[in-house]
Amino acid sequence: MSLQTKANKRYLNLYFQVHQPRRLGQFSFFDIGTGRDYFDDDHNQIIMHRVAKDCYQPANLLLLKLIHKHPGIKVTFSISGSALRQMEVFAPAALESFYILAATGAVEFLSETYYHSLSCLKSKREFYAQIKMHDDKIHKLFGVRPVVFRNTELIYNDEIGRLIQGLGFKGIVTDGIERILHGRSPNRLHQHPEKNLSIFLRNYRLSDDIAFRFMQKNWSEWPLTPTKLVAKLDAMQATENLVTIGLDYETFGEHLKASTGIFQFLEGMLAKVAKHKTLEMVTPSQAISLIKPLDVLNVPESISWADENRDLSAWLGNGMQQDAFGSLIKMEAKINKTGDPRLLNTWRYLQTSDHFYYMSTKDGDDRGIHDYFSPYASPYEAFMNYMNVLSDLELQIENRVRDQVHSEYAKKTEFLTPDELKKLCNDQSKWKPETLTF
Amino acid sequence: MKVLMFGWEFPPHISGGLGTACHGLTQSLAEENIQILFVIPKADNHTTNDGVKIINASSIIIPLREDHYPPETQREAEAATKTSNVITIVVRSGLQPYNSPGVLSQQSSITQWNYQFSPGSLEKVKNETHVRYQFTGGYGPTLMDEVENYAKVAAEISRQSTFDIIHAHDWLTYPAGIAAKEISGKPLIVHVHATEIDRAGENGDPRVYQKEREGMEAADRIVAVSQWTKNIINSKYGIPAYKIAVVHNGIDPKEKMKGIIVPPIGKRIVTFLGRITHQKGPQYFIDAAVKVLRKFPDVHFVMAGSGDLLPKMIKRVARLRISSRFHFTGFLKGDQVDKIWTATNVYVMPSVSEPFGISPLEAARAGVPVIISKQSGVAEVMHHTIQIDFWDIEALASAICNLLQYESLAKTLIHNGEEEVREITWTKAATAINRIYHELTD
């Protein structure tokens, strides 16, 4: 069934990002090689418990109530694999509440990388593998396969668009920043310059009104009310027919505690929109079937939703971040060679963008936000801890490869041929030839 | 605005941060059109300071007038003179300058950095109607007497001069500040650069503690060089927090020395620079060095400075069998410090209790990555540093290893540290002090 864009209708897509990194524990230089655990899962558990209790469960319950009351309400979730897994292990009731919400049919799930990683920047193979892993997980949990992709921290460029379309996705979400819009409105469905890929542009002003300015008492429009927000939507031009609001789901009850009235705001806003005559809530896949994208969007340089710059500088802005990320990516071939799923999983958890975010040395307003999320006292400690972990992982990989070579050698009942010997040496640079010369 | 300021040290005669701080602050206050009469115990031709009038306390002639001092003060002074075995030199004719012997040799002694109160000599130039005190201006055996006499001189100066406010730096000058306040009735600021709690923990000299406390109680406002120090003043001296303002020290910009200008002891050098005393935590540096050397056997450690713990530290290094990688330089002056920076890969300040700590700023200015203890005031303003607990040797050693291992860490710290230190200026400190002057006088 082909739906037509109704005249005077304005569509609203509201998506929530759910993410929890798997945070590292303290790992000193002297822990390298000791076999100590990298992740502080006790701490991760405490955080997951808190966020589940204060945010995920009450917010899901509220949405469930509202969806039953107003069938017009549609919401979208983008949940990282890292968050899903921690929910599964530490807070299964929270995961169940998402499941119940999904069963209403008013909810769509977006695709992303399982590990909330920056893999799109360096390794196509990793990028694909992690997207597949995530979508398999979503399918297993909620019985659906995502058709629209949302990259880590809304990182996007034309090349990422090509890759994503190549994987069969119909659309992608990124941030509607001036640098790419050149004065045009973000409140339209856009289109990749070459590929048949719809681009959803988050209206960051409206989104930040809620996420950042809700409690900013010196803001001229404070306090934000559902009426004010809907008035802003009404004040848009007729051609602005698709508004995307994207928020950290943790905005509700975690970043902004329940006592701020943020839940009442969410309830009021959704009820108002649901009753509104010209506003209609949609999920991204519905929007794609309703709206024909006419505006072409060129994004030659990477953008994101983070920091004032809205580029990659939040994760790769200084030498430490680039060094750490480069060292991580360099290990790909070796990791794959071990064929050890446990090591691979660990390596991938180390790809989570948050680890690099903590290493940012930016000043000003950005620093405050980085500090808020960081479990470290300073970016330098974040870097040291991370690099020590990475050094340990590298040792583990080398040991594993060496073990493999040893066991392969031990399996041989006859002497190696010169060719085999040569191959063995070439295969494994760490295998010291002198040990073969006895 | 005219300020009568009391200090104990002034460049080039300095032993630590106090002289440097007084110099930096007065220069910037002068730029704000504050007139300063700066009194120090002993000045010479080398003591110059643009825009600030230096008063040499050793040159002040005090008329012996009974009415200036209550009789009991006189008696106490005489009693003290007798019990402390003071040698009084009476010069009947004229007022000859008197060079006290032994000052230079005392300054080169490795134990000069801690205060000493054993009986010693005090010199006084006196005739029937006038007296003049010859101060050593150091921290020698006669220190307590010098502090008392300095207060007498201060009283005389405040009689002779006009000013709007009194500003006294550290306990040595608090009695002087109190005396000046009693005579002039002008408001008194005591500026706390360090406390006896920092220097000696709970085992400090009760007389010093007493003088500090008297100064703080008599003051109309206390300036602490950090929140760390403010907390100590509040909790250990019982001074209400509202009376204490925090004004962080600053540093002047300076060109970096080019090239490496030190003996070629090693490719990678980790440096400790400061007084080798309990306060500075030198033993933690040594213990961390042992751990680092297990991972990086070719790294060299330099302990620059002097102090009462130096012999003990040398013994400790020898006992740990790391002397081939550990170097003691003794006290470094002026450009010797700059030379050390050119070769230093990591600077460590593991202070047990550091009111501020100017050396980390100097290191950052010279492009050296900095590790400081969380128990330091400078940690409040230097974010681009690695901060550890002074007792956490494992964390300190780990941080040193990380800096040696990961070049990008050192580079990022150097780059951001240099930028940050440019913003930590004496101008900012002077502006804050000036505001306090006006609050107290308007």
| DSSP per-residue string spanning B251-266 | ----PPPPS--S----
Taking each helix axis as running N to C, give the angle between helix A204-211 and helix A226-234, from 0 to 180 degrees, rounded to the nearest 10. 170
Q: Which ipTM did the prediction report?
A: 0.74
DSSP state of A154: G
Which one, of B57, B123, B49, lies nearest residue B91 by Cα? B123
pLDDT tens digits for range A211-256: 999 999 999 999 999 999 999 999 999 999 999 999 999 999 999 9
Determine, for residues B405 and A387 on separate chains, whether the beta-carbon distance falls below 8 Å.
yes
Which residue of the set A126, A153, A250, A254 is catalytic? Answer: A153
- The answer to whether A395 faces chain B, any CB pair under 8 Å, is no
From chain A, the residues in CB contact with B291 under 8 A are 30
Q: What is the mean pLDDT of residues B214-224?
A: 97
For the stretch A256-314, pLDDT in tens is 999 999 999 999 999 999 999 999 999 999 999 999 998 999 999 999 999 999 999 99
Q: Which residues of B touch A381 (CB under 8 A)?
A: 386
Q: For chain B, list residues whose CB is within 8 angstroms of any CB belonging to chain A.
A: 291, 295, 383-387, 394-395, 397-399, 401-402, 405-409, 411-413, 415-416
Nearest to B201 by CA among B351, B312, B306: B351
Cβ atoms of B262 and B339 closer than 8 Å: yes
Contacts of A380 in chain B (CB under 8 A): 384-386, 409, 412-413
Nearest to B402 among A318, A361, A384 (CB): A384
User: Do B239 and B222 meet the contact criterion of CB atoms below 8 Å apart?
Assistant: yes
| Nearest chain B Cα distance for residue A119, angstroms | 21
String of b and e for A400-424 (b: at least 16 CB within 10 Å)? bbeebbeeeeeeeeeeeeeeeeeeb
- Determine, for residues A29 and B295 on separate chains, whether the beta-carbon distance falls below 8 Å: yes
User: Hey, are the CB atoms on A320 and B406 less than 8 Å from each other?
Assistant: yes
Contact between B103 and B140 under an 8 Å Cβ cutoff? The reply is yes
- Name the residue facing B401 among A29, A324, A361 (closest C-beta): A29
Q: Which residues of A touch B411 (CB under 8 A)?
A: 319
State residue A157's pLDDT score. Answer: 97
- Is A320 an interface residue toward B (CB < 8 Å)? yes
Whether the predicted pLDDT of A99 surpasses 90: yes
Selected residue of B270, B384, B406 to mutate for chain A interface (largest A Cβ count, 10 A)? B406
Task: State what percent of residues in chain B have pLDDT above 70.
Answer: 83
Residues B263-283, mean pLDDT to the nearest whole number: 90
Give the closest of A323, A378, A391 to B408, CB-based.
A323
What is the pLDDT, as a whole number, of residue A426?
A: 66
A267 given a catalytic annotation: no
> 217-246 in A: which are within 8 Å (CB) of B?
none
Question: Which two three-digit tokens encode residue A316?
Answer: 């790769």
Contact B406 A30 (CB under 8 A): no
- Residues A163-221 pLDDT 10s: 999 999 999 999 999 999 999 999 999 999 999 999 999 999 999 999 999 999 999 99
**Measured between beta carbons, which residues in chain B are less than 8 angstroms from residue A384?**
386, 398-399, 402, 406, 409
pLDDT, residue B236, reads 95
Question: Tokens at residue A389, please?
Answer: 């972990």
CB B51 within 8 A of CB B17: no
Residue A163 host element (H or E): helix A158-166
CB contact under 8 A, B405 and A29: yes
Rounded to whole angstroms, the Cα distance separating A74 from A72 reads 6
Q: How many CB pairs under 8 A join A and B?
A: 64
CA distance linking residue A384 with residue B402, whole number of Å:
6
Instruction: Please write the tens of the pLDDT for every residue from B83-103.
Output: 232 222 222 222 222 233 333
Residues of B in contact with A323 (CB under 8 A): 406-409
Nearest C-alpha neighbor of A387 from the set A319, A334, A306: A319
Measured between CA atoms, the residue of chain A closest to residue B293 is: A30
Q: Do A28 and B398 touch (CB under 8 A)?
A: yes
Residue A408 has pLDDT above 80, yes or no: no
